[in-house]
Amino acid sequence: MHHNAPERSLARWQVFVGGMCALGLTLGMARFAYTPMLPVMQREAGLGVVLAGWLATVNYLGYISGALLASWIESPMVRYRCYVWGLVLGALSTAAMALSSEPWVWLLSRYLGGLSGAAGMLLGSGLVLGWLMRHGHRAELGGYFTGAGLSIVLTGLMALAFVPLHWTWVQQWWGYTAVGGILLAVALFFRPDPPPIAAANTAPPAPISSAWLWRMVVMYFLAGVGFAVSATYTVAMVVRAAGMGAQGPIAWILVGVFGSIGAVVWDRIGRKYGQIKVIMVALALQSLSVLLPALSPSLWSTLVAAILFGSTFSGIVATSLAVAGKMSPSNPGKTMARLTLAYGVAQVLAPAATASVIASTGRDTWALVVTGLLLLIGSGLLWPLRERTGGG
């Protein structure tokens, strides 16, 4: 039984290109563009420190409420419609930033941008994973999550390109909106079909053991802490080590480049050695990316940290979500959403906790060391699961 139209015959690469564009829009334009725009808006639009902090917080709240929503929705058709609307929201929320200088418009835009990010990350990856499994392809999301790294690269490059153009903050937001419009068109054109409505006589799949889910969720929460701390401090540390302006965006672009390569490379390694082992190794390497600059702060160590961070975070996200989706084929997005909720909560709590540790100790060494240790604990948590999910 299909929904009203027959499935369009998309190739695997088309589904991945559509997914990359979806992430470029919902994560890149609707979420990451705010990072390079922040100093511009503080200079030109009178954006104060307090409001800037709130805009970032509201963006995360949008993301978390999107993840909550995704973990509740059972119907594949509703998930599919929410995904399409999430894409449209991504473009509209980016345009809203240019339309007004009212704080409430910005706050609403950042919240909707966060919702859109959740749609791209969760509903999109769930749809793609379902499509891959239905069409006999490997349950791997590296190709999809290349879009997360590329969206960082794209916003970083656009930020650098705007400098010689001397565009105002409004024109820059329109620039992001225009690129978002192109990404929206491609993402909609190459969107995977919703899963066909299951026949009534199919047996329900075996439920995931709660012990397995518990370990995965806690591990992913700790990975979220690592991501938030690295993402918050990587650029700042490079700027401080270099004492130069342009290195910050370049470090951000490096993270993105290695993020997009990493997602696909970890897939390959996972095929050979098993996906759980890949997550364990990637977490251990990410802990190194946090400990390196803490223990020997120099420009080299911070750049190596940026590269390590970029090449591991995308692999951890892509592989963890692929494993979670594969363990619950009837509704892959639901288990994926539970994991993402944990990651999202970590992203809200970690920067605040880190800031208070830095404030009380006066330096960021301890905060980074603790983060590094948490990532190692996350890796250790998966030890008992390492034989469960093999390659492929």
CB-based contact 60:344 (threshold 8 Å): yes
When computed from its CA atoms, the radius of gyration of the chain, rounded to whole angstroms, is 20
Other C-beta atoms lying within 10 Å of the C-beta of residue 299:
17
Note the pTM of the prediction, 2 decimals: 0.84
- Tokens, residue 247: 């290195």
* Residue 50: Cβ-neighbour burial (10 angstroms; 0-12, 13-18, 19+): exposed
How many Cβ atoms sit within 10 Å of the Cβ of residue 220? 24
> How many Cα atoms sit within 13 Å of 253 on the Cβ side?
13
How many other CB atoms are there within 10 angstroms of residue 264's CB atom? 18
CATH of domain 11-196: 1.20.1250.20
> Phi and psi at residue 211, in whole multiples of 5°?
-65, -40
What pLDDT, on a 0 to 100 scale, did the predictor assign at position 241? 67
Q: Name the phi and psi angles at 191, rounded to 5.
A: -75, 140
Q: Left if phi > 0, otherwise alpha if psi is -120 to 50, otherwise beta: which for 362?
A: left
Per-residue pLDDT tens digits for 224-273: 998 888 877 766 666 666 654 556 677 778 888 999 999 899 999 999 99
Is residue 253 within 8 Å of 156, Cβ to Cβ? yes
pLDDT value, residue 1: 44
Identify the CA nearest to 386 among candidates 293, 283, 299, 277. Answer: 277
- Given the candidates 1.20.1250.20, 1.10.10.60, 3.40.50.1820, 2.40.50.140, the CATH classification of the domain at 208-382 is 1.20.1250.20
Q: For residue 371, give the amino acid letter.
A: T
pLDDT at 2: 45
pLDDT at 235: 60
φ/ψ of residue 382, rounded to 5: -85, -5
For 322-365, the DSSP string reads: HHHHHH-TTSHHHHHHHHHHHHHHHHHHHHHHHHHHHHHHSSSH
Q: What is the largest CA-CA distance in the chain?
A: 65
Delimit the CATH 1.20.1250.20 region(s) of the chain. 11-196, 208-382
The token duo for 12 is 């695997």
pLDDT score for 163: 85
Which residues of the chain have a pLDDT value below 70?
Answer: 1-7, 198-207, 234-248, 388-392
pLDDT score for 239: 63
How big is the chain, counted in residues? 392
Is 92:85 a contact under the CB 8 Å cutoff? no
- Report the sign of the C-alpha dihedral through residues 247, 240, 311, 318, in that order: negative
Residues 282, 312: contact at Cβ < 8 Å? yes
Q: How many CB atoms lie within 10 A of CB 348?
A: 17
Q: How far apart are CA 13 and CA 11, in angstroms?
A: 5
The sign of the dihedral angle between the CA atoms of 151, 153, 155, 161 is negative
φ, ψ at 198 (rounded to 5°): -65, 145
Per-residue pLDDT of 41-68, as tens digits, reads 988 998 888 888 888 889 888 998 998 8
